[in-house]
Structures are given as C-alpha cells and as structure tokens.
Amino acid sequence: MPKTDPCQKQACAIQKCLQANNYQESKCESVLEDMKKCCEKFGKLSGCCDGIKYEKSHKNLS
C-alpha cells in the first residue's frame, strides 16, 4: 500500500486556490503559508516539498 505524502493536502489546496484566483499568488498567501509550515515540519518526508525553499528554525547548540 503506497504511503501518503504528509503535505499532499496542502499542495492540492495551493493548486485549487491558484486556479480559482487566476494564478494570483497574493490571493493564496494563507494556503502557501500552510504548505511552508508543512514542509518545515516534514521536510524530506514529503515529495511535495521538493524544490520548495523553506527553513527549519534551528537552535544554536554551540
């Protein structure tokens, strides 16, 4: 059984929002932010995050 991508729901929401808003990213900021948060949480575990620039917040351990 194939494993579900943890950020697929957010990726689909972006596509739906962009299509509904004539591909104006400014109208989809909330769903884009949701995707960013998902990628920060799941990173490489999500194929949907490939190619998306995101930064995990790391504490300085030194």
Give residue 16's pLDDT band: very low, low, confident or very high (50, 70, 90): very high
Q: What is the pLDDT of residue 54?
A: 67
Residues 62 and 60: their CA atoms lie apart, in Å, by 6
Residues 50 and 23: their CA atoms lie apart, in Å, by 20
pLDDT > 90? residue 1: no
Mean pLDDT across the stretch 13-35? 97
The answer to whether the CB of 10 falls within 8 A of the CB of 32 is no
Whether the model pTM is above 0.85: no
Mean pLDDT for all residues in the chain = 86
The answer to whether the CB of 53 falls within 8 A of the CB of 13 is no
Q: What is the pLDDT of residue 61?
A: 43
